[in-house]
Amino acid sequence: MKQLCKVDEWKIIEEQIHPDQNRLAESLMSIGNGQMGMRGNFEESYSGDTHLGTYVGGVYYPDKTRVGWWKNGYPEYFAKVLNAMDFTGICVFIDEEELDLHVWKVVHFQRVLNMKHGYLQREFEAVSPEGKKISANVTRFFSIVDSSLVAIKYEVTSKNFEGNVTFQPYIDGDVRNEDANYDEDFWMPVYHHASENEAVLTMRTRKTAFDVTAAMVTEVNGNGVTNGQVTNQDEYVDHKVSAHLSENATATFYKYISVMTSRHVEKSALPDAAKERVAKASHNGFESLLKAQTEAWEERWNHADVTIQGDVSAQQGIRYNIFQLYNTYTGEDAELNIGPKGFTGEKYGGSTYWDTEAYCLPFYLSTADASVARNLLIYRHRQLGKAKENAEKLGLKGALYPMVTMNGEESHNEWEITFEEIHRNGAIAHAIWNYVNYTGDTDYLNEYGYEVLAEISKFWASRVNFNPRKGKYMMLGVTGPNEYENNVNNNWHTNRMAAWTLEYTLSVALYLENNHPKTSFELKQRLGVTEDDFDHWKDIIEKMYYPYDEQLGVFLQQDGFLDKDLIHVADLDENHLPLNQNWSWDRILRSCFIKQADVLQSLYFLNDRFSKEEKQRNFDFYEPMTVHESSLSPCVHSILASELGYEHKAYEMYLRTARLDLDNYNNDTEDGLHITSMAGSWLSIVHGFAGMRVVKGELEFSPFIPKDWDNYSFKINFRGHLLNVMVDQQATIITQEEGSLFTVNVKGEIYEVPENGKVIID
Amino acid sequence: MKQLCKVDEWKIIEEQIHPDQNRLAESLMSIGNGQMGMRGNFEESYSGDTHLGTYVGGVYYPDKTRVGWWKNGYPEYFAKVLNAMDFTGICVFIDEEELDLHVWKVVHFQRVLNMKHGYLQREFEAVSPEGKKISANVTRFFSIVDSSLVAIKYEVTSKNFEGNVTFQPYIDGDVRNEDANYDEDFWMPVYHHASENEAVLTMRTRKTAFDVTAAMVTEVNGNGVTNGQVTNQDEYVDHKVSAHLSENATATFYKYISVMTSRHVEKSALPDAAKERVAKASHNGFESLLKAQTEAWEERWNHADVTIQGDVSAQQGIRYNIFQLYNTYTGEDAELNIGPKGFTGEKYGGSTYWDTEAYCLPFYLSTADASVARNLLIYRHRQLGKAKENAEKLGLKGALYPMVTMNGEESHNEWEITFEEIHRNGAIAHAIWNYVNYTGDTDYLNEYGYEVLAEISKFWASRVNFNPRKGKYMMLGVTGPNEYENNVNNNWHTNRMAAWTLEYTLSVALYLENNHPKTSFELKQRLGVTEDDFDHWKDIIEKMYYPYDEQLGVFLQQDGFLDKDLIHVADLDENHLPLNQNWSWDRILRSCFIKQADVLQSLYFLNDRFSKEEKQRNFDFYEPMTVHESSLSPCVHSILASELGYEHKAYEMYLRTARLDLDNYNNDTEDGLHITSMAGSWLSIVHGFAGMRVVKGELEFSPFIPKDWDNYSFKINFRGHLLNVMVDQQATIITQEEGSLFTVNVKGEIYEVPENGKVIID
């Protein structure tokens, strides 16, 4: 494990420049505001290894699929996250020498991501090849107050010379995706304008025709400021401005950028709208914008923070994860979702996996307004039409949501995943239950939820086959969450979630019939769901086949699982790990080793359906065979271990998720951060250590605290209550910060939490 | 079905030009000589749709793998059959107008593949845009007497004008594969020389550095012959020569080409060697070369022909298949093998599939000298080292032969095939048995065979896992011959062939110990095979698990097969067929439908191990679920149907293989011919209709004849005997053409076949 950055409660601090690990550092220093974001690239030119990456949410390109062997049903095009125009760049010259930290001698360097206040800051001293020494202090942020805004302050001080500093701010639209399948240029130029101190550039995506406009305004504070050349080209605009520096004098340069897209503004109005917005921002000035940013982040932390005392490293890890989740998704825009790499890299097509429903939704449910989680659900409702087309393509009824998507269409092409990893449909149904169970917002069901549930249920009902020899419904040819098994029969988790979906859908149908008879009638008509369907669903629920071993008393991950060599990970030669780097694919497949929670995923999702003994037997059986080679795996194990009182295991699993990127655990953070799995560390603390559950509208806790920690605390929103839950080695203290008196259940006892008061449980 | 060509016993006759189906016609008119070959391209320029394809055996290029998602174990490079230099081209001009049948008005056109004598002939009359009418007669052949030679005669007659005809023969090295993964040029120029009437060009493959040299000599018979311009470039050589044509006069142009490669000749000596050879050929002259070709083909047919009377279409089909098999492989070169498209197209990497052992080997065993089949086996022995590396890559012992290969390395990258379709190893072992059983050449075992068998046995022994719960050895995660099932457990055929391999290897070990004790001892030492290995193999043989259903009395294709919806192909809506074009891959996988013989493949391979009742029950169970969407499928069903007395089914299945390409049954012959499956139609007649088997060194027949045929006959080589077997509606007549008196078993009765005599069985 390479710890690039210093441990600190609120900051990510890189104390020297890392030319060999610059991509990793750039990933870690990523910053965004839910609408856009970028990697921790330098503003000035850098001739060393770097991956310049700036991303604008919801703007995608359907890249032509690349496969070795085509299989019927593959999508012809994949929606890709786009590397968008580089709008933060500022070339810096000292007299004729261009600043380049790969060439200049770096005397001092510090790059700091300030999580508390949401900005990135760099301080450095460097000496030019001709011996001119400068110090610089650069601050930039992506505003969360106005999500179209980015602001940069770039201070340069002469340390040993008298001369000129020239700033050359630019917007560069000639940008390529590193992962383009056929090295195509995804963008074409639309509009450009440049003059002294301001410029605008609009680029358009090919095929999808999204326009993205960036407008910049710049300003210099210094002596002898003179404007220089302006460049005004199709895909590139810049201008130059110089200031005179006497020894120890400082020139301060400001660049304000407003970025807007045709997703929100008429194409023809984009340049003016962006110009207007950025003019206003520059009028307000950098310090005022930064103050607003600081306050907004403090307010956000006030609802979303998790504190850990006695372990700074753990504290930094959980805050980093929360920070990056909010950089990626804020829930204000139902067209957006939570990409696996957020705005920090471009690997993987598409932006939305089942990670969103299974891992991220509970985080947003508890730390943000209910509207945020609701928007995540509505995102899927908007894509229901495409999910129905997807099912039809496979010769099935109802809706099958894609494995990965941007606009509702499938963006994945491994048959064993794309066509077979269909448990994702169950996760999407379960998220509806989760939302309604947590918020009590039953209106969601008549407005959106039932329609999605009914179509998913139709899918399950057409996907099972009745086996007359056994009198059971079966589901053949699937891949479960454990992707180290492909094309298996009767994956227990998939069968379980399918039957659960049918049950839940039937219960929602009954609820609607009783409470909203008119809506219920209309929906039935519109969706074409009949009593025959209901009867069929009931029959499936009753006769679903669940592989089970009587002798061991465990649910079997799939048919034939016990025919494998059942070996524990602990008994493997360490050189074989991680398996996905050391074993051929067939060897992985025929082994018993489990990539990520599979049977255990159901035990987490449908937690109250299983006895503690069942959970224990299955955990004891499967955990030792699990290699956790997905970043999504350890948190589910951590949560179940907490519930079962396996405190050591719970803590071990927590550590594997909390600092995954900061410690570059999987050795691939240079490609971008593992955004969606970041929610897992929050889940490990809140659902795991604190044992939070919502049962029949009531909040329950069952806390424990790792023995090395002094205390931990977190805040949650729950049905109009803002609670602070603090657990230390002696007690649990639940403080109500907003909301009226209500009750919570802690370890089976009921406690009242007064308005503006607290309850202490020893 | 599109029948492009006229039915004829010995010829493939295209009676008009087919601009819309030219690629199909070019595939059908392919010709070769085992060392090289080409599609039926025109010599002169053609501006319509065409796929120029000339292929030289054993010369390959490792193209960089293209995949959607990388899996551990995939090969980084794929050996590809190369489209090589175009050496048959001759541009033809009438005065200033270039002959181009896509532009000129074609008055008459006939393209004839003469199978009896091994040449391709074209006759046409065409009128130029300016109204000049010519007739032409073009003959070319790839010599089977000297396999480096190609000869072309090009006659042009003026029908209505006086003027000049100019011939511009060329060799063009700037050729690309249509299926290159990254549009790379696989060739670079090495040597070029051109002068009047002769030219040489050497091209070298990139990476593998094979040199291929073509030398040409030309000659014109006509009036007023004058030499024109010579072009002598890096990758292209040509020259021009003109003759004067008065009305109704003819000019005859000859092009002789010798093609040699660094596989057989030192690189530095290549140009001179090729020049020398082609000079000799031109000295002998076209007619003399053609005469030798004609005689050689007649001699070949004398050993390999199958006649069918009463069905010209069937007669043409079987001869076409035999003809194209010999165009592809003659068995003189142990480095070569039988590519699925031979020299007729470039789809699919690699050249060698298990098709060779399972389908082609028995054909060559019976129709050619035993050395031919022996060379096919030695080919695998030569590649044993690579097969051991391949097994090691997958973490296994012994040898795993690749699914597709050129030089022993894997050239395939679908994990479910590459890593899992391992029954191919069984087919390779079985071919050794087949060869020794047929020829009695037990020396092959000590020289080569045992080594291959032992390494394959080691592989099987490391690939199974012992299941203590069931006390059985199992084989998990495999793909059987039926590729419409992937990653299944305990494919019956694979388990059966694995255990059979172990049995056969043990019996060969015992044979060596008893008969060649010294060799036996040396081999044991060298291969590291111990008594423990033998004990382990015996244990596996004894405790191998074979899925079986007591109630149905059938071997189960794999675990869980009966959990599927068991539907018959006949009950499917016809619009769904072929499934591989109409169903998504997952739907195919979870269905019961079978792409090609799977359980039945073992029943064919290990024919004498199963009772007729077992064969019948399994055939009756599986046949109705088989869609035969592989060209390799129908013949196995045909053979078993013959054995079971299902004459109608046997004939139906025969028809599906015999004219697959001539009738473009799979609608993909434009990509090239299905060479390996061509052996299947021969098998259907000889092993199927005639019921030929070799049991304990004795030849057995059990003939029947389809009711629409008058008679059929075929020749076989068997241990020094050349037999003609003729079956008509009344009797079977076995005539010995070479060899001494011996006995055959016909339908259970023993008959003596006298030297130079015959036996008639009513």
Contact B467 A66 (CB under 8 A): no
Contact B394 A584 (CB under 8 A): yes
**Final residue of a structural domain among A302, A325, A354:** A302
Give the whole-angstrom CA distance, residue B383 versus residue B264. 19
* CATH code, domain with B133: 2.70.98.40
Cα of B694 vs its chain's centroid, Å: 24
pLDDT of residue B326: 96
pLDDT of residue A379: 96
Q: Determine, yes or no, domain membership for B759.
A: yes
Which residues of chain B lie closer than 8 angstroms to A71, CB-CB?
584-585
Same domain, B173 and B108: yes
SS3 call for B20 = helix
Share of chain A above pLDDT 70, in %: 99
Give the whole-angstrom CA distance, residue B474 versus residue B463. 9
Contact B486 A489 (CB under 8 A): no
- For residues B478 and B469, the answer to whether their CB atoms sit within 8 Å is no
Q: Is the CB of A736 inside 8 Å of chain B's CB atoms? A: no
Q: Out of B66, B419, B585, name the one closest to residue A68 (CB).
A: B66
Give whole-number Cα distances, A666 to A141, A583, A670, B730, in Å: 28, 16, 10, 76
Q: Determine, yes or no, domain membership for A588.
A: no
Residue A349 has pLDDT above 70, yes or no: no
Distance from the A420 Cα atom to the nearest Cα atom in chain B, whole angstroms: 7
Which residues of chain B lie closer than 8 angstroms to A471, CB-CB?
none
pLDDT digits (tens, 9 = 90+) for B113-153: 999 999 999 999 999 999 999 999 999 999 999 999 999 99
Q: Compute φ and ψ for B423, nearest 5 degrees.
A: -55, -20
Q: Is the CB of A577 inside 8 Å of chain B's CB atoms? A: no
Share of chain A above pLDDT 90, in %: 91
Q: Do the strands B758-761 and B732-738 form a parallel or antiparallel pair, or are they unpaired? A: antiparallel
Q: ipTM of this predicted complex?
A: 0.91
**Mean predicted confidence (pLDDT) in A121-131:** 98
Query: Which residue matches tokens 């030669």?
Result: A573
Contact B584 A487 (CB under 8 A): no
Same domain, B42 and B172: yes
Cα of A616 vs its chain's centroid, Å: 31
pLDDT of residue B349: 63
Spatial CA neighbour of B320 closest among B664, B88, B597: B664
Residue A348 has pLDDT above 80, yes or no: no
Give whole-number Cα distances, B80 to B180, B303, B411, B419, in Å: 9, 33, 8, 20
Which residues of chain B lie closer than 8 angstroms to A564, CB-CB?
465, 476
Same domain, B273 and B323: no
Residue B350 has pLDDT above 80, yes or no: no
pLDDT digits (tens, 9 = 90+) for B166-188: 999 999 999 998 888 878 899 99
Same domain, B271 and B339: no
pLDDT of residue A79: 83
Contact B68 A65 (CB under 8 A): yes
**Final residue of a structural domain among A302, A335, A355:** A302
Q: Out of A67, A474, A586, name the one closest to residue B477 (CB).
A: A586
**Mean predicted confidence (pLDDT) in B23-29:** 97
Q: Is the CB of B394 inside 8 Å of chain A's CB atoms? A: yes
Give the whole-angstrom CA distance, residue B446 versus residue B373. 17
Same domain, B251 and B313: no
Q: Determine, yes or no, domain membership for A717.
A: yes
Domain count, chain B: 2
Q: Do the strands A223-233 and A119-127 form a parallel or antiparallel pair, or are they unpaired? A: unpaired
Same domain, B110 and B236: yes
Q: Determine, yes or no, domain membership for A704.
A: yes
Q: Determine, yes or no, domain membership for A190.
A: yes
Task: Tell me the two tokens of residue A115.
Answer: 């999580």
Q: Is the CB of B718 inside 8 Å of chain A's CB atoms? A: no
Q: Determine, yes or no, domain membership for B511.
A: no
- For residues B205 and B173, the answer to whether their CB atoms sit within 8 Å is no
Q: Out of A65, A489, A583, name the one closest to residue B395 (CB).
A: A583
The amino acid occupying position A182 is: Y
H/E stretch holding A398:
none
**Mean predicted confidence (pLDDT) in B558-572:** 97
Same domain, B201 and B342: no
Give the whole-angstrom CA distance, residue B563 versus residue B549. 12
Give the whole-angstrom CA distance, residue A214 versus residue A238. 12
SS3 call for A152 = strand
Task: Tell me the two tokens of residue B657.
Answer: 């293989």
pLDDT of residue B63: 85
Contact B487 A489 (CB under 8 A): no
Query: Which residues on adjacent β-strands are paired with residue B257?
Result: B150, B216
- For residues A428 and A505, the answer to whether their CB atoms sit within 8 Å is no
Domain range for B100 is: 12-65+77-277
Residue B610 has pLDDT above 70, yes or no: yes
Give whole-number Cα distances, A324 to A52, A553, B569, in Å: 18, 41, 54
Q: Is the CB of A470 inside 8 Å of chain B's CB atoms? A: yes
Q: Do the strands B693-695 and B554-555 form a parallel or antiparallel pair, or are they unpaired? A: unpaired
Residue A400 has pLDDT above 60, yes or no: yes
Spatial CA neighbour of A35 closest among A294, A410, A337, A280: A337
**Mean predicted confidence (pLDDT) in A86-114:** 98
pLDDT of residue B719: 96
pLDDT of residue B518: 95
Indicate if B483 belongs to the active site.
yes
Spatial CA neighbour of B409 closest among B741, B60, B117, B4: B60
Q: Is the CB of A393 inside 8 Å of chain B's CB atoms? A: yes
pLDDT digits (tens, 9 = 90+) for A572-584: 999 999 999 999 9
Q: Is the CB of B562 inside 8 Å of chain A's CB atoms? A: yes
C-beta atoms surrounding A440 within 10 Å? 15
Q: Determine, yes or no, domain membership for A216.
A: yes
Band (pLDDT 50/70/90 cuts) for residue A494 is very high
Write the DSSP assignment of B284-311 as a string of letters.
H-HHHHHHHHHHHHHHHHHHH-EEEES-
Task: List, as ranges, residues 479-498 from B with C-beta within 8 Å of A.
Answer: 486-489
Task: Tell which of B590, B591, B595, B668 to mutate to test the A interface (max A CBs under 10 Å).
Answer: B590
Contact B587 A465 (CB under 8 A): no
C-beta atoms surrounding B548 within 10 Å? 11
Label each residue of B548-603 as H, E or C. Answer: EECCCCEECCCCCHHHCCCCCHHHCCHHHCCHHHHCCHHHHHHCCCECCCCHHHHH
SS3 call for B736 = strand
Q: Let me know the angle formed at the C-alpha of B572 by B569 and B573, rounded to the nearest 5 degrees.
A: 145
Same domain, B37 and B168: yes
Same domain, B136 and B213: yes
Which residues of chain B lie closer than 8 angstroms to A477, CB-CB?
586, 589-590
Q: Out of B414, B469, B564, name the one closest to residue A562 (CB).
A: B469
Distance from the A665 Cα atom to the nearest Cα atom in chain B, whole angstroms: 20
Same domain, B273 and B316: no
Mean pLDDT value across chain B: 95
Q: Is the CB of B567 inside 8 Å of chain A's CB atoms? A: no
pLDDT of residue B412: 86
Distance from the B419 Cα atom to the nearest Cα atom in chain A, whole angstroms: 6
Please name the residue of chain A whose CA is at the shortest distance from the CA of residue B585: A72
pLDDT of residue B69: 77
Band (pLDDT 50/70/90 cuts) for residue A77 is confident
Distance from the A448 Cα atom to the nearest Cα atom in chain B, whole angstroms: 30
**Final residue of a structural domain among A302, A326, A353:** A302
Q: Choosing from A44, A409, A420, A483, which is the catalytic residue?
A: A483
Q: Is the CB of A580 inside 8 Å of chain B's CB atoms? A: yes
Band (pLDDT 50/70/90 cuts) for residue B59 is very high
Same domain, B657 and B749: yes
**Mean predicted confidence (pLDDT) in B745-758:** 96
pLDDT of residue A745: 97
C-beta atoms surrounding B145 within 10 Å? 14
Q: Determine, yes or no, domain membership for B533.
A: no
Give the whole-angstrom CA distance, residue B430 versus residue B359. 12
Same domain, B272 and B154: yes
Q: Is the CB of A70 inside 8 Å of chain B's CB atoms? A: no
Residue A1 has pLDDT above 60, yes or no: no
Distance from the A271 Cα atom to the nearest Cα atom in chain B, whole angstroms: 39
Distance from the A560 Cα atom to the nearest Cα atom in chain B, whole angstroms: 8
Band (pLDDT 50/70/90 cuts) for residue B632 is confident
pLDDT of residue A67: 78
Band (pLDDT 50/70/90 cuts) for residue A178 is confident
Which residues of chain B lie closer than 8 angstroms to A68, CB-CB?
65-68, 413-414
Which residues of chain B lie closer than 8 angstroms to A469, CB-CB?
562-563
Spatial CA neighbour of B713 closest among B694, B685, B736, B671: B685
Share of chain B above pLDDT 90, in %: 91
* CATH code, domain with B642: 2.60.420.10
